[in-house]
A and B are shown apart, each in its own frame.
Chain A
């Protein structure tokens, strides 16, 4: 049985009164409660009985709001930190790759070939690290498009 617009307004106001301050959470709960109430409504059960029965099973709305706010705050902070490190590492690897590209020419210009041969494992390591990182980023973009 479908709820009327008046019933929806009553539920919306009651959710706010019970301590739900976030609009996003309020919209979710309004739809959820409406669906639960509609499931309970029938010829013998009226709106008020069905609504109070549904709400009694919900527990504390204030606690639900607090839990949601806490989850959002910690998730946002973690995401920011992760993204910051991800960008920083990618930039570092790209700079390392660029350095590895330019450095051999500088060495060859100022020093004999023997110095270049000695340094070549370091340069090779720089290339591998840089291009592995770039390929991983490309793989991420392709796989999860």
Chain B
């Protein structure tokens, strides 16, 4: 699903949609290639999202009504920007809270000290 140089796939599975939604909250609108590059840059190359996982997730989010697309012609090709809908903004907040709660829970279960 992912190509990850350092982090385990198992740890990252299930967070792809949260990553996409959060990036779009911060950047307004982005296209597929831009999302993969942003994740690579933010994770300092540790997480590299493949096209095989990115586009099913993006199209799924559009079908769920959380994202809409905006097309722009670049010569002979079309660049599709993805941006959040009203429901998408609400879902992002929900997913981020869920993820934050999960981290706190796992810190308790595994008896880990939070990083300062």
Q: Which residues of A contact B (CB under 8 A)?
A: 5, 8-9, 12, 24-25, 27-32, 34-36, 58-60, 63-64, 67-68, 70-76, 78-79, 140, 143-145
The answer on a CB contact under 8 Å between A30 and B77 is yes
- Decide yes or no: A68 and B56 within 8 Å by CB, A31-B32, A75-B61 being known contacts: yes
Using a CB–CB distance below 8 Å, which chain B residues touch chain A? 31-33, 50-52, 55-65, 69, 71, 74-80, 86-87, 89-90
The listed residue (B55, B60, B63, B65) touching A28 by CB distance below 8 A is: B55
CA separation between A34 and B50, bound complex, in Å?
15
Contact A145 B86 (CB under 8 A): yes
- In contact, B51 and A58 (Cβ under 8 angstroms): yes
A to B contact number (C-beta, < 8 Å): 83
Query: How many angstroms from the CA of A78 to the CA of B78 in the assembled complex?
Result: 29
B interface, over-half SS: helix
Interchain CA distance A9-B75 in the complex, whole Å: 11
Of A28, A72, A73, chain B has the most CB atoms within 10 Å of the CB of A28
Nearest 7 CB-CB pairings of A with B: A71-B60, A75-B63, A67-B56, A71-B56, A144-B86, A75-B64, A75-B60
